[in-house]
Amino acid sequence: MKNFKQLLKELPSSKVVFAYGIFSPPTSGHELIVKSVKSLSESQSASHIVYATNSLKENLLSADKKTHYMNIMFPKTNIEVTDKGLVEVAQELNKKYKNLVMVAASDCKESYQKLLSSRNGKDFKFDTIEVVSTGDMNPDKNTLKESVKKGNYDKFKKYLPTSLREIDSRRLMNDMRKSLGLDILKEEIKLVTNELREQYFRGEIFNIGDTVGFNEQQYTIVKRGTNHLLLKDEEGSLVSKWIQDVTPISEELTNKTIRPADKLKVARIIATMLGVDNVEKSANPENIVNTALRKVRSKAINAEGYKVLDNMLQLATEVGIQYDTALKPARLKEDAPTADEVSEKNLEDQLESEMELTDEQIDAIIESTPDDDIVDEYDEDEFYCVDEETGEEIPESEFMTTEDYQILEVLSRSERMRAKARFARTKSKRMNKSKIALKTRAPQKKINQRARRLAIKLIKKRMLRGRNYAKISIGEKERIERIIKKRQDTIKRVAIKLVPRIRNVEKSRLSHHKYKATGGAGNVTF
Summarised one tens digit per residue, pLDDT across range 251-268 is: 444 444 566 777 787 788
Ranked by mean pLDDT, the top range of 42-51, 132-141, 432-441, 481-490 is 42-51
* Cβ atoms of 78 and 50 closer than 8 Å: yes
- Distance between CA atoms of 235 and 238, rounded to whole angstroms? 9
Q: Strand pairing of 247-248 and 238-242?
A: unpaired
- Residue 273: is its pLDDT beyond 80? no
Structural domains of the chain sorted by starting position, each given as residue range(s) with its CATH number in brackets = 14-192 (3.40.50.620), 195-248 (2.30.30.140), 260-327 (no CATH), 349-513 (no CATH)
- Distance between CA atoms of 97 and 511, rounded to whole angstroms? 46
Residue 383: how many other CB atoms lie within 10 Å = 20
- Min mean pLDDT across 211-215, 256-260, 325-329, 420-424 is at 256-260
Average pLDDT score over residue span 356-378: 81
- Distance between CA atoms of 33 and 42, rounded to whole angstroms? 14
Ranked by mean pLDDT, the top range of 323-327, 425-429, 435-439, 447-451 is 447-451
- Residue 91: is its pLDDT beyond 90? yes
pLDDT band at 138 (very low <50, low <70, confident <90, very high): low
Q: Report which DSSP code applies to 138.
A: P
Average pLDDT score over residue span 198-227: 80
Q: Closest Cα to residue 417, out of 372, 365, 481, 357?
A: 372
* Cβ atoms of 134 and 33 closer than 8 Å: yes
* Cβ atoms of 161 and 31 closer than 8 Å: yes
Residue 267 has what pLDDT? 82
Q: For residues 424 and 114, which has the higher predicted lDDT (pLDDT)?
A: 114
- Residue 497: is its pLDDT beyond 60? yes
* Cβ atoms of 21 and 30 closer than 8 Å: yes
Q: Strand pairing of 512-513 and 238-242?
A: unpaired
Residue 194 has what pLDDT? 59
pLDDT band at 399 (very low <50, low <70, confident <90, very high): low
Residue 128 has what pLDDT? 93
CA 71 vs CA 10, 19, 31, 95, 450: distances in Å: 23, 15, 12, 26, 44
- Residue 223: is its pLDDT beyond 70? yes
Residue 253 has what pLDDT? 40
- Residue 189: is its pLDDT beyond 50? no
